[in-house]
Amino acid sequence: MSEQQTPGNNGNRQDEVTHFGFRNVPKSQKAGQVADVFHSVAGKYDLMNDLMSMGIHRLWKRFTIETSGVRTGNQVLDIAGGTGDLTMKFSDLVGPTGKVVLADINASMLEVGRSRLTDRGYAGNIEYVQADAEHLPFPDNQFNAVSIAFGLRNVTDKDQALRDMARVLKPGGKLMVLEFSKPTNSLLSKVYDEYSFRALPLMGKLIANDSESYKYLAESIRMHPDQETLKGMMEQAGLVNCRYYNMTGGIVALHVGTKP
Ligand SMILES: C[S@@+](CC[C@H](N)C(=O)[O-])C[C@H]1O[C@@H](n2cnc3c(N)ncnc32)[C@H](O)[C@@H]1O
């Protein structure tokens, strides 16, 4: 069956639907629609991140790095690494004897990441790879740590991605999933809903001339598995000692699991 044929008539993956924000789309189309979002926002991505989170994303990322236990000489994969915030920090930690792979499915995001890191003098221990989290082009047992920050939400088959991230970890290695999650307090939840569904698309329109992508952001966050569900999915993927840390009242959570 060619890419152009309509889904629904051959009983394979293309028949199945998944969500793209609040809409149902054929599974075969989700990655393309996510790609359109990130091609569109790549140039303004870092500015929008700072504005939308009022800079707080830097604290969420700092906590992720501190929890990672990454050390000199380690091999780290930052998948869905985008413009490279975590990669930069990992690069400092692993030093010249280690290696960090900044991988992303999207060529535009990867290009913004590569020029940003090069401009800041990062070279030598960073590799750039275009890759899908569901099908990682790396051998088994390669990395001491794998991170995916604000990326898992966009992946079509999250269970497959978690299994593949576990596969490329060395035994004893840690998977860190930093992602939007479910606020633990109902009042915070209401305020957050107002902010996400009204303010975010408006900011997207004014700053990136793209309200639809930021509407997708708000919707995709609501569709993402909550803390306990994601923890269960990590266990199903074969990881042990799975746990999570809520941040900013559960708006964001860091999930950590270890490969046995
Ligand atoms: C919100 S950005 C996060 C970027 C960066 N990790 C950060 O925290 O700033 C999400 C990234 O996930 C990437 N992405 C989406 N689906 C992916 C997939 N299936 N495999 C790898 N990367 C993916 C997008 O291209 C985008 O760069």
Ligand 1 pocket, 164 CB below 6 A? Answer: no
The sign of the torsion formed by the CA atoms of 79, 14, 21, 46 equals positive
Q: Is 132 known as a binding-site position? A: yes
Say if 79 falls within a structural domain: yes
Q: Ligand 1, atom 15: nearest CA belongs to which residue?
A: 154
Q: Ligand 1, atom 14: nearest CA belongs to which residue?
A: 80
Give me 217's structure tokens: 């952001």
Q: What is the pLDDT of residue 15?
A: 67
- Closest of 136, 221, 217 to residue 182, by C-alpha: 221
User: What's the pLDDT tens digit per position in 87-113?
Assistant: 999 999 999 999 999 999 999 999 999
The sign of the torsion formed by the CA atoms of 5, 10, 12, 18 equals positive
Q: How far is the CA of 161 from the centre of ligand 1 (A)?
A: 13
Task: Check pLDDT > 70 for residue 179.
Answer: yes
- Which atom of ligand 1 is nearest to 147's Cα? 6
Task: Check pLDDT > 50 for residue 6.
Answer: no
Phi/psi-derived region of residue 121, left when phi > 0, alpha when psi is between -120 and 50, beta in every other case = left
Say if 118 falls within a structural domain: yes
Task: Check pLDDT > 60 for residue 7.
Answer: no
Q: How far is the CA of 39 from the centre of ligand 1 (A)?
A: 11
Say if 241 falls within a structural domain: yes
Say if 205 falls within a structural domain: no
Say if 73 falls within a structural domain: yes
Ligand 1 pocket, 82 CB below 6 A? Answer: yes
Say if 138 falls within a structural domain: yes
Band of pLDDT at residue 75, cut at 50, 70 and 90: very high
How many domains, the chain?
Answer: 1
Say if 34 falls within a structural domain: no
Say if 188 falls within a structural domain: no
What is the span of the domain harbouring residue 123?
A: 41-183+219-258
Task: Please report, for the domain that includes residue 129, its CATH number.
Answer: 3.40.50.150
Ligand 1 pocket, 34 CB below 6 A? Answer: yes
For 75, residues 6+ apart whose C-beta sits below 8 A from its C-beta are 94, 98, 99, 100, 101, 142, 143, 144
Find out whether 252 and 60 touch, Cβ atoms under 8 Å.
yes
Q: Is 133 known as a binding-site position? A: yes
User: What's the pLDDT tens digit per position in 8-53?
Assistant: 344 445 568 898 888 898 898 888 888 888 888 888 888 888 888 8
Ligand 1 pocket, 133 CB below 6 A? Answer: yes
Ligand 1 pocket, 109 CB below 6 A? Answer: yes
Distance separating the N- and C-terminal Cα atoms of the chain: 40
Ligand 1 pocket, 244 CB below 6 A? Answer: no
Band of pLDDT at residue 247, cut at 50, 70 and 90: very high
